[in-house]
């Protein structure tokens, strides 16, 4: 295997530290062509679809991509903003605010970058850029609070695949999950209470998580359990009784059984049973995106109202809420323990001087050879 060409190691230098906030991804535009490229990359990941590769290739290229790309493009167009994809914009803002929050805590020597597992900016490209910038310690922070092999596991695949071709691999720290992190649960609590303070409170709080095939649970994936733990902790923080909230799963795809209960049929049943108002939150999504803005706030809203419901309130994702940025900073900080990130101005000056001396020595050694 050929390794990528790298610059010579510079003795005496102190490498930088970085946090990479990784989200799922989004098409570059709400067009058929852009959506097709995105779906092809996403649905070709065997972590996402575990059907035998040869069989799935025929289904994907013969049925799904030709017919679903146009339909999905219309859905993306319904939530697209003048500045682009909501998911990309929120993730970019979160990365910027996280950098500011870490600096406010004294972590001045930390780069914060945003990457996407599918689409752009591609995770391998971001990792390559950080290496070129001299980062020798990198913490990967997925935007998924609950771990699943279909999401966080796929990020690890991309990270390991990238570094297979790198000779001098940086120190890596991988944030597996934070579904029960106190600051994350507190951010959710504040988000719900802020909505209730402004709009009143519904009869039921529906916590809708992204679905995955049921077989993943049976084969050992912890996602289902972590979703329920998040829901229990949030309900406890909100002081909800068991009959005041529900856990559901959305975004089912294909004919196989997925985690249940499904969100759309559940809210329809609530309306048919006489529940007039529900509030829906998606705790597993940290940025609003197609699955929250179009699927929940548009499609599921329609399902509830047409089934007889009177009021449907979608509670937005954490997005740029101050409590969520605090949570991100705490999670990142806990995974940088021991790294030289708390640097004073005199220390930075000494590091820069040491780096300059190291470069001069490297040049001298090169000339001597």
Question: Which amino acids are annotated as binding site, given as ranges?
Answer: 210, 291
Among residues 109, 130, 127, 236, which one has the least CA distance to residue 185? Answer: 236
Residues forming the annotated binding site for Fe(2+)? 210, 291
HEC-encoded secondary structure of the chain? CCCCCCCCCCCCCCCEEEEEEEEEEECCCCCHHHHHHHHHHHHCCCCCCCCCHHHHHHHHHHHHHHHHHHHHHHHHHHHCECCECHHHHHHHHHHHHHHHHHHHCCECCEEEEEEEEEECCEHHHHHHHHHHCCEEEEEEEECCCCCCCCCHHHHHHHHHHHHCCCCCCCEEEECCCCCCCHHHHHHHHHHHHHHHHHHCCCCEEEEEEECCEHHHHHCCCCHHHHHHHHHHHHHHHHCCCHHHEEEEEECCCCCCCECCCEHHHHHHHHHHCCCCEEEEECCCCCCCCHHHHHHHHHHHHHHHHHCCCCEEEEECCCCCCHHHHHHHHHHHHHCCCCCCCECCHHHHHHHHHHHHHHHHHHHHHHHHC
**CB-based burial label for 53 (10 Å; 0-12, 13-18, 19+):** exposed
Task: Dig out the tokens for 301 from the structure.
Answer: 């809203």
- Helix 182-199 vs helix 322-334: crossing angle, to nearest 10: 180
Sign of the dihedral defined by the CA atoms of residues 179, 22, 286, 332, in that order: positive
């Amino acid at each position: 295997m050929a390794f990528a060409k790298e610059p010579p190691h510079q003795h005496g230098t102190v490498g930088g530290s970085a946090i990479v906030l990784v989200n799922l991804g989004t098409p570059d535009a709400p067009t058929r062509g852009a959506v097709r490229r995105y779906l092809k990359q996403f649905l070709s990941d065997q972590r996402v679809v575990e059907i035998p590769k040869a069989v799935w290739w025929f289904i994907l290229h013969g049925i799904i991509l030709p017919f679903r790309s146009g339909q999905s493009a219309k859905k993306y167009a319904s939530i697209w903003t003048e500045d682009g994809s909501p998911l990309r914009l929120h993730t970019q803002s979160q990365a910027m605010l996280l950098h500011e929050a870490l600096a406010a805590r004294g972590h001045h020597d930390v780069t914060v970058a945003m990457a996407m597992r599918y689409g752009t900016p591609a995770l391998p490209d971001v990792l390559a850029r950080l290496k070129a910038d001299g980062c020798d310690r990198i913490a990967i922070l997925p935007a998924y609070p609950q771990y699943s092999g279909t999401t966080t596991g796929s990020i690890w695949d991309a990270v390991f695949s990238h570094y297979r071709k790198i000779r001098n691999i940086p120190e890596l720290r991988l944030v597996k999950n934070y579904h029960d992190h106190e600051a994350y649960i507190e951010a959710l609590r504040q988000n719900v209470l802020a909505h209730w303070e402004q709009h009143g409170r519904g009869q039921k709080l529906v916590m809708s998580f992204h679905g995955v095939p049921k077989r993943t649970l049976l084969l050992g994936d912890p996602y289902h359990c972590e979703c329920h733990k998040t829901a229990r902790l949030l309900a406890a923080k909100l002081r909800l009784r068991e009959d005041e909230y529900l856990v559901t799963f959305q975004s089912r795809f294909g004919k196989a059984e997925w985690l249940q209960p499904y969100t759309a049929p559940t809210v329809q049943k609530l309306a048919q049973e006489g529940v007039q108002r529900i509030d829906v939150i998606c705790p597993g999504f940290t940025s609003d995106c197609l699955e929250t803005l179009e699927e929940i706030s548009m499609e599921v809203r329609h399902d509830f109202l047409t089934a007889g419901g009177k009021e449907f309130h979608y509670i937005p994702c954490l997005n740029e809420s101050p409590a969520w940025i605090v949570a991100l900073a705490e999670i990142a900080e806990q995974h940088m323990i021991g790294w030289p990130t708390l640097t004073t101005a005199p220390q930075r000056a000494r590091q820069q001087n040491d780096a300059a001396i190291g470069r001069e020595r490297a040049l001298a050694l090169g000339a001597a050879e």
